[in-house]
Structure 1
Amino acid sequence: MVSLNRRILAFSTCTMAFSSVSAVFHFYYVRVFLNRFHIEEKWFHTAQVLFLIWNAINDPLFAYIQDNVSLPFTRSRREAILYSAPLFSMAFLVPWFSWEGGAVTTGMHLIVSLCFWDTIFTYIGLAECCLFTEISKRAEDRLKLVRFSQLGSLIGSSSVLILEHISDSLESYTLFQVSCACLALFSWMLMTFTGYNAYTEYDLKNMNDAHGESINCDNEGRQSNEPWFKLLRQLFTKDFCLFIVTNFLQEFHRTFLANFIVIICDQLVSSDVVSPHVRRTFYGAVSMAPKTLVVFCAPLVGRIGYFRAIRYNFIWKILGGMSMFLIGNNHPWCLMIFLILDSCFCNATFSLFNMPLSDIADRDMEKHNRKHPLSSMVFGTQACFVKPTISLSPMLVVSILNHYGYTQLKNGDVLSVDLNQLKHAIFLLVCVYPVCIGALQLCVWSGFSIRKETTMTIPN
């Protein structure tokens, strides 16, 4: 019998692998294609639109497959990760190696990179989220999963810091490519460990019922005779809809910070004030700080409940953005502190979002007397509405930046750009994004009703 601690360790290694690779992908891909491959704006937007459409299709598709199709790579959550791990590593490597050719080739490169990445990212991500729900139903165990998975994520997210220093912030691009290849191999090894050890409580129940004769019949227990549209209609409760809106806005904010924090600092923080070494360390700290916060503050979340912890973050966004606006853009150190705090609280709060989703899946299972929670459908359906922000947020920001001359600036045509106007626009984005998003989230999240089930006692 696989112990709970070993299963938590297996889940944490998957999170470590997942975060180490995804942190690098989201931190660098926009910068690589804009500043190194010089992709044209129309191709950038085309790729993002196609990416958005594929995002909307693949989440419910893979959710249905994982919950209702019995194949070797869908029979259990752990096997879904085991068989997809090598493809995940391959998808990560595609963007960093240029396809020789003109604007069309570069555009196709970005399209293939984004769609291939999101296909495997979605499939493994769904399996990982379902593992979170199904390893244990106890709230204390789930918060323990959050805490230790964030410890794994903290170690994994150091990949950005390491690559920033190895590649000298992409100046040594060959070293960056070699480092990415090593990182891809490392993540594959970690996910293989997950694939052999991350049993859910339903896997273990099947093992006991079969007296060791079979351990891969989890999918049979998940299959439902009800049509998918009826299951979908049952899932769309008030709480589920409120969560989708809240998460949509959260992902919009997270994507903005992940993709543009380097561009923000390049324009608003002078190299005379902050040295390149400090700047690279800062970029690495942006990825690592949220995980550190979750690891040390998990007992506090256990005492106050995730509902209030999430709500406090929305209040911070409003107050923090307004304070930064009043301080102004002539204080680079204050700006860097604000950016790291904003990213820290935004991503740390996002790491708690699996808990309300798991509660939604549990409530649906109890309400409709299911033998097994529809975890994949819950996570996949909400992702169908949320993940388009990964395309919408960069498209909006790139359009605003190019309106103020960022394209001419990165192409070396400095004289045709009003730098003060461009910097002012970037600073307004930094301040207005959290204020507007936080205000909307605070209103929406206040209607979430599962808050009474969120408070728990967690040992330190």
Structure 2
Amino acid sequence: MSLSRLNMGAAQAVMKEEKEAKPRSFRDSKHFQPLMVAFLCFGFATFLSVYMLYYMKVFLDVYHISTDWIKIVQALFLVWNAVNDPMMGYLQDIGCCGMTWIMDRRKVIMYCAPVFAFSYMIFWFPWSTTNTVITGIHLLVGLFLFDTILTLVLSAYCGILVEACSKHSQRVRCLVYAELFGILGGSIIFPLNVFSDEAKNFGRFQVGCAIIAVIGAASMSGGAYFLNTKKEHELHEEIEMAKDPEELPPKEPESSFKKAIRVSMQIIRQPRFLCLVGSQFMRSMRTVATGTFQMIIIGSLVSRPGFLEAGSPALSAFYSLVQPIGSILFMLLWKPLAVLGTHKMMVILLGVALLNVTIALFLGRSDPLFVIVYMGIEIISASTGGHSFGMLLAGEVVDTDTKVHKRKSPLSTLIFTLKALFTKPAEQLSPLIFITLLDRGGFTEHRASCIREAPKMIAVDNSTMPIIQTTAAALLEAEQPVCTTLLDTMHSSMLYFTLFCTIGEIVIICIDYWYKRRVLKEEDSKTNPLEIPLTEEEFIKKREV
């Protein structure tokens, strides 16, 4: 009888705990934290989508910057990017000038979101449209400031994504919410493009960008304000730090610095880390080139002959839809990805991109429909899992490094930092190389006269035949052979640049897959020295059991 009463009391206590654990409001529910993280992602997506699509077109077509200044700015920016990432990480780790708030990721986003919006707005208000030197300095200052604040806020966002959700299920929910809100943020391109007539009405474009800046800053600051990042793993760290100092080994700055250098060199010399850097470098070059120059290429090779005219709702819908389709496709491929693995799925998607560029090489630029289909497939394939595949490969590199060097804990933060240090220069090299390729066809000299939408010609005969509308593209090219050369160069440069990056990424992914199988076999041979080495699939099944 007493045992029954005891069990009944225990059951009542469990029910009471479950009742107390139920959320009393939406803020206490499991959806609140992921939703606030998603608001941060929405703000990022609004800023980055407009910046990536318009900044090169605005500086070339509206501010009339010379391509020589673009090359100089991108070269200087390449150097700054190498210093920028570790410096921002240093500030967030140990603070600066007594500013303790910079070590709080939530406060960094909350305070810096308006500054981030200001750095984004710098691009859309010209300092000069006649003096190319002032315009070059404008681009230099804008890129330096925008990328610096972006690095500071984005690194805080990555940390919050982990800290706000301590459980695996919560992190998955965070990623799903962030992906969906990122799609919503990227769709801001459609109303902006229609409202500003593809930035031709520059006054309206500036108003639209100002509204987007307010929305993005409010979304990021509001999401950060309501976040609660104090989680159990932080409490464990505080308890660990609160132990008796005498029990802890004394820290020596010199030996710590030497250890950091030694460990960094161990990571950099790893073949799988080099493959990770190489594949991400190729992917970044391909994605940045396509995203930065897509408006110029489509305007020259598609809209100019009269197909998907500039400023039309159809073209605005194209710009708005191609990027989200990549994110949606990645979510649909999640189950096949779990079955086939990261490397095989990446090779399949890269194979589709390789087939697409090969077909485009044979078809040429005679039909604008072929060009726009190629661009759509290329943008979708490049954006499908671009960041997520990199995260998965980096996770495997972290596991391999831990096993090879028998580390007590994985060095994920250091590996991610080193990866960014070597891959971010691709974002500056890509426009630099692409502009150089375009200059082979006279992009600098003939851009103003050749790259414009062809006016419509109306022909009516004497017998009151129906009006026939054609474009003046063929006439313009017949009168100016240099325009034909320039457009051919733009088409071939786009295809050969993509082809080089795609083939390079495929080769590197295959090498990394070979190294992965080699590491698995070596690990299995140590645990089963008298048995035949297992295949990757057998090893995974055995480990799961």
Q: TM-score range by the shorter chain?
A: 0.7 to 0.9
Cα deviation, residue 446, structure 1? 2.1
Cα deviation, residue 254, structure 1? 0.4
Distance 1:272 1:395 in 2: 30
Aligned partner of 2:384 in structure 1 is 348
Aligned partner of 1:45 in structure 2 is 71
Secondary structure at the aligned position of 1:411 is classed as helix
Distance change in 2, residues 1:291/1:33 (3 Å): same
Structure 1 unaligned blocks of 5 or more: 215-222
Distance change in 2, residues 1:431/1:44 (3 Å): closer
1:288 aligns with 2:324: yes
Normalised TM-score (structure 2): 0.73
Aligned partner of 2:394 in structure 1 is 357
Distance 1:50 1:197 in 2: 38
**Is contact 1:27-1:258 (8 Å) kept?**
yes
Aligned partner of 2:125 in structure 1 is 97
Distance change in 2, residues 1:328/1:139 (3 Å): farther
Aligned partner of 1:275 in structure 2 is 309
Distance 1:281 1:60 in 2: 39
Distance 2:480 2:356 in 1: 34
Deviations 1:347-387 (A, max 9, x none): 123131223334545665785334x8552x43332222212
Secondary structure at the aligned position of 2:100 is classed as coil
Distance change in 2, residues 1:332/1:416 (3 Å): closer
1:20 aligns with 2:58: no
Structure 1 segment 7-156 matched on structure 2, within 5 A:
7-69=33-95, 71-100=99-128, 102-132=131-161, 144-156=173-185
Matched residue type, 1:157 = G
Aligned partner of 1:391 in structure 2 is 428
In terms of mean alpha carbon deviation, does 264-273 or 27-36 score higher? 264-273
Matched residue type, 1:89 = A
Structure 2 unaligned blocks of 5 or more: 1-20, 22-27, 243-250, 451-475, 518-535
Distance change in 2, residues 1:248/1:338 (3 Å): same
Distance 1:207 1:136 in 2: 14
**Is contact 1:306-1:455 (8 Å) kept?**
no
Select which of 281, 284, 288 maps to 1:255: 288
Deviations 1:150-191 (A, max 9, x none): 211110101222211110001111111111111111111221
**Is contact 1:73-1:83 (8 Å) kept?**
no
In terms of mean alpha carbon deviation, does 48-57 or 202-211 score higher? 202-211
Q: State the identity %.
A: 22
Distance change in 2, residues 1:373/1:83 (3 Å): farther
Normalised TM-score (structure 1): 0.86
Structure 1 segment 211-250 matched on structure 2, within 5 A:
226-227=256-257, 228-236=260-268, 237-250=270-283
Aligned partner of 1:191 in structure 2 is 220
Distance 1:256 1:224 in 2: 46
In terms of mean alpha carbon deviation, does 443-452 or 33-42 score higher? 443-452
Matched residue type, 2:88 = F
Cα deviation, residue 86, structure 1? 1.6
Distance change in 2, residues 1:323/1:196 (3 Å): same
Select which of 427, 432, 447 maps to 2:491: 427
Matched residue type, 2:505 = Q
Cα deviation, residue 55, structure 1? 0.7
Distance change in 2, residues 1:417/1:331 (3 Å): closer
**Is contact 1:56-1:388 (8 Å) kept?**
yes
In terms of mean alpha carbon deviation, does 160-169 or 432-441 score higher? 432-441
**Is contact 1:321-1:430 (8 Å) kept?**
no
**Is contact 2:438-2:493 (8 Å) kept?**
no
**Is contact 1:254-1:343 (8 Å) kept?**
yes
Distance 2:223 2:202 in 1: 32
**Is contact 2:275-2:511 (8 Å) kept?**
yes
Distance change in 2, residues 1:44/1:354 (3 Å): same
RMSD over aligned Cα atoms: 3.2
Distance 1:412 1:138 in 2: 58
Distance 1:189 1:275 in 2: 34
In terms of mean alpha carbon deviation, does 324-333 or 290-299 score higher? 290-299
**Is contact 1:268-1:423 (8 Å) kept?**
yes
Cα deviation, residue 48, structure 1? 0.9
Secondary structure at the aligned position of 1:39 is classed as coil
Cα deviation, residue 309, structure 1? 2.4
**Is contact 2:280-2:423 (8 Å) kept?**
yes
Larger Rg: 2
**Is contact 2:353-2:502 (8 Å) kept?**
yes
Deviations 1:300-319 (A, max 9, x none): 43443333322222222222
Matched residue type, 1:99 = W
> Larger RCO: Structure 1 or Structure 2 (Cα < 8 Å, ≥ 6 residues apart)?
1
Distance change in 2, residues 1:385/1:206 (3 Å): closer
**Is contact 1:290-1:344 (8 Å) kept?**
yes
Secondary structure at the aligned position of 2:384 is classed as helix
Distance change in 2, residues 1:82/1:27 (3 Å): same
Number of residue equivalences: 443
Distance change in 2, residues 1:325/1:192 (3 Å): same
Select which of 488, 502, 523 maps to 1:438: 502
1:400 aligns with 2:437: yes
Secondary structure at the aligned position of 1:404 is classed as coil
Deviations 1:422-460 (A, max 9, x none): 22222222322332212211111123356869999xxxx
